[in-house]
Amino acid sequence: MTGISACIISYNEEKKIEDCLKSLEGVADEIIVVDSLSTDRTVEIAKKYTGKIFRQAFLGHVEQKNTAVGKARYDWILSLDCDERLSPRLKQSILEVKDALGRYDAYKMARKTFYVYRWLHHCWYPDTKVRLFNKHNARWDGVNPHDKVRVDGGNIQLLSGDILHYSFDSISAHIQTLDKFTEIAAQEIINSGKRVTLLSAVSHALWIFLRMYFLKLGFLDGFAGLVVSILSFVHVFVKYSKVVFYHRSHQNEPSARPLTR
């Protein structure tokens, strides 16, 4: 049977990492944890499940995840975030293909999100992700903080079952993450030199709301679906607005300073 290395990055995830690691039992042949210098019990908890824990100051989401892949003993990588777990059906699906993983270039799976008090069946579902891949023909890529697995080949198989994503415990937590992620994303846009206007900020944000709430039937997710759709609008609008504000505040300076220090 082919070996699988589960790769996880962590930072102050003492409340969620244990359930993540438990869900990997019976599927992963080793677990790699790259921890960004947590100050809580994250590492202590992880030591109950693996001895392969590496301390690394945070390099960025893409870079940190590729660092974890680089520590893996086996070719096949199963990647989860600390707030994710394998559903029983997904675990079974992985075990069913484990003997013949090489038939495909990679495997993707749906992700279902639990938001504050309920599961979201529409606005953030199925949110399909490639999370099982061969490290020799795939790697983490994308624009921070929105990382994704880029696969060299196009032969990707969908597995049955879901990644269970326990996202935000409160609206406050969502807003705090929104501010942090828009800061990172805005800096990436600034670094790329991409042109951003107030019109693009409004149009991109409005499209996200319409797509999520109406096209993806987010209204069927009740009040939680409305909140998620509105905050997704805010996320995109704030991200582009930070870029606009940056350029307007530095347009008379000879050289631009970083968005954050």
Residues in a beta bridge with 163? 86, 111
* Residue 18, phi then psi, degrees to nearest 5: -65, -45
How high is the pLDDT of residue 261? 39
- Tell me whether strands 30-35 and 53-55 are parallel, antiparallel or unpaired: parallel
Q: Is the pLDDT of residue 108 over 60?
A: yes
Q: Is the pLDDT of residue 57 over 90?
A: yes
**The one-letter amino acid at 67:** T
| Sequence ranges of the domains in the chain | 4-166, 171-250
Average pLDDT, integer, range 81-105: 97
Rounded distance between C-alpha atoms, residue 91 and residue 52, angstroms:
22
Average pLDDT, integer, range 64-86: 98
83 close to 23: Cβ distance less than 8 angstroms: no
pLDDT in tens, 208-240: 999 999 999 999 999 999 999 999 999 999 999
Positive or negative, the CA dihedral 138, 140, 143, 147 is positive
Residue percentage of the chain with pLDDT more than 90: 92
88 close to 157: Cβ distance less than 8 angstroms: no
Let me know if domain 4-166 sits in CATH 1.20.1050.10. Answer: no
Q: Which two tokens stand for residue 162?
A: 């879901």
SS3 content of the chain, % helix, strand, coil (to 5): 45, 25, 35
Give the distance from CA 254 to its chain's centroid: 37
Q: Which two tokens stand for residue 215?
A: 């096209």
Q: How confident is the model at residue 256 (pLDDT cuts 50, 70, 90)?
A: very low
